[in-house]
Amino acid sequence: MITPGLATSLIGMAQNTVEKTPVTLLGLGAMGTAMARTWLAAGHPLTVWNRTPARATALAAGGATVADTASEAVAANTLVVVCLLDDTSVDKVLAGTDLANKDLVNLTTSTPAQARARAEWARERGARYLDGGIMAVPPMIGVPEAGGYVFYSGSPELFERHQRTLGVPVGTTYVGEDAGFAALHDVALLSAMYGMFAGSAHAFALIRKEGIDPAALAPLLADWLVAMAPAVHRTADQLRSGDYTKSVVSNLAMQVAGTPTFLSTAEQQGVSPELLSPYFELMRRRLAEGSGEEDLTGVIDLLVR
Ligand SMILES: NC(=O)c1ccc[n+]([C@@H]2O[C@H](COP(=O)([O-])OP(=O)(O)OC[C@H]3O[C@@H](n4cnc5c(N)ncnc54)[C@H](OP(=O)(O)O)[C@@H]3O)[C@@H](O)[C@H]2O)c1
């Protein structure tokens, strides 16, 4: 016999389930598993498949349907999310699946060219396509305050249709109809991050042999990087206007004159200048072109081949 309280909660569960878009997820690595948990927790019917079936066990216990094959998983729902290691694994997993009329969302990290080719590949198979670039690590999934999100590009209709469902694990930022733009934004931001890590590595190397606690330098470094980061807005403004002398704070001539101080300090501290030197070389080349009144924006033009 079903008690009234239980009946109410069963009806509530049923309504909850009916309203939520069913999701198929291919790929239960660290990222896919974190995402799967959030869809389950939010009441989305979820069908999963993974090459190594054991990784689905905990999700099955949490209510996920585990498909025996990728084809079965794809057949189960219209919305098919893929989160695999790389583009080659996407090729392998989706080969032989029937993608006709599917809404394919590929969160696998790729290059812009791979994303564009995948969009065309999906179109030829009758699928609508969105590409994604994940700006988060697994512990940020399902934690809105952590600030993670996914860049999406490709079909705007598809993004609009599934934005709410895709926004369950982590935030969503749509960057355009060109399927390659999500990957491009992803790589652009991560490239800037590596520049920041490179600068930080040099800074820590400088103090390595001294009696300075790295833990004392770290907060100073973090605050300085945060204070300097808004300079990217000035760079963008100069790029848009084409006037690289606009609102210059520290001109290139002065900055190039300062580079020997950095290189001598590195030498005195026994630190290789190999992370700094290429950037300084670009600054010197730009100065040699007669651009001493600019700041560092002209370096961008030297990079673009
Ligand atoms: N983790 C992060 O911090 C992070 C952050 C941003 C973006 N991403 C991106 O998210 C995607 C998934 O990352 P992850 O952290 O989940 O990676 P992961 O933990 O290494 O998992 C890789 C997934 O791909 C599957 N796979 C690999 N090669 C395969 C093949 N040849 N055929 C079928 N399946 C294959 C694995 O299956 P098995 O379980 O059978 O090995 C697993 O499901 C990647 O593109 C990654 O760049 C990850």
Q: What is the mean pLDDT of the chain?
A: 94
| C-alpha 50 – ligand 1 centre gap (Å) | 10
With a 6 Å cutoff on the Cβ, whether 128 touches ligand 1 is no
Tell me the CATH number for domain 4-177. Answer: 3.40.50.720
Mean pLDDT of 163-179: 98
Question: According to the model, what pLDDT value does residue 11 have?
Answer: 41
Burial 183-219 (b: 16+ CB within 10 A, else e): bbbbeeeeeeeeeeeebbebbeebeeeeeeeeeeeee
| C-alpha 56 – ligand 1 centre gap (Å) | 14
| C-alpha 184 – ligand 1 centre gap (Å) | 19
Confidence band of 2 (pLDDT split at 50, 70, 90) = very low
Of ligand 1's listed atoms, the one at least distance from the Cα of 55 is 39
Q: How far apart are CA 275 and CA 40, in angstroms?
A: 45
Confidence band of 18 (pLDDT split at 50, 70, 90) = low
Confidence band of 3 (pLDDT split at 50, 70, 90) = very low
pLDDT in tens, 57-89: 999 999 999 999 999 999 999 999 999 999 999
| C-alpha 162 – ligand 1 centre gap (Å) | 23
- Of the residues 83, 85, 135, 193, which should be mutated to test ligand 1's pocket, given the most ligand atoms within 8 Å of the CB? 85
With a 6 Å cutoff on the Cβ, whether 109 touches ligand 1 is yes
Question: According to the model, what pLDDT value does residue 19 have?
Answer: 82
* Domain layout of the chain by residue ranges: 4-177, 186-303
Tokens representing 230? 């808004």
Question: According to the model, what pLDDT value does residue 1 have?
Answer: 35
Tell me the CATH number for domain 186-303. Answer: 1.10.1040.10
CA distance to 228, 250, 264, 265, 270, per residue, from 261 (Å):
20, 16, 5, 6, 14
With a 6 Å cutoff on the Cβ, whether 150 touches ligand 1 is no
Of ligand 1's listed atoms, the one at least distance from the Cα of 32 is 16
Q: Nearest C-alpha to atom 10 of ligand 1 is from which residue?
A: 108
Question: According to the model, what pLDDT value does residue 10 have?
Answer: 43
In this predicted structure, the answer to whether residue 14 has a pLDDT above a threshold of 70 is no
With a 6 Å cutoff on the Cβ, whether 51 touches ligand 1 is yes
Beta bridge partners of 24: 47, 80
With a 6 Å cutoff on the Cβ, whether 113 touches ligand 1 is no
CB atoms < 10 A from the CB of 108, how many? 26
pLDDT in tens, 41-53: 999 999 999 999 9
Question: According to the model, what pLDDT value does residue 196 have?
Answer: 98
The DSSP line for the chain is ---HHHHHHHHHHHHHHHHSPPEEEE--SHHHHHHHHHHHHTT--EEEE-SSGGGGHHHHHTTPEEPSSHHHHHHH-SEEEE--SSHHHHHHHHTT---TT-EEEE-S---HHHHHHHHHHHHHTT-EEEEEEEES-GGGTT-GGG--EEEEEE-HHHHHHHHHHHTTTSEEEE--SSTTHHHHHHHHHHHHHHHHHHHHHHHHHHHTTTT--HHHHHHHHHHHHHHHTTHHHHHHHHHHHS-TTTT-SS-HHHHHHHHHHHHHHHHHTT---TTTHHHHHHHHHHHHTT-TTS-STHHHHHH--
Phi-psi region of 92 (alpha: psi -120 to 50; beta: other; left: phi over 0): alpha
Confidence band of 17 (pLDDT split at 50, 70, 90) = very low
With a 6 Å cutoff on the Cβ, whether 81 touches ligand 1 is no
Mean pLDDT of 114-129: 98
Q: Nearest C-alpha to atom 30 of ligand 1 is from which residue?
A: 89
Mean pLDDT of 186-192: 97
pLDDT in tens, 204-263: 999 999 999 999 999 999 999 999 999 999 999 999 999 999 999 999 999 999 999 999
In this predicted structure, the answer to whether residue 12 has a pLDDT above a threshold of 80 is no
Question: According to the model, what pLDDT value does residue 302 have?
Answer: 97
Tokens representing 135? 């700006």
pTM of the prediction?
A: 0.91
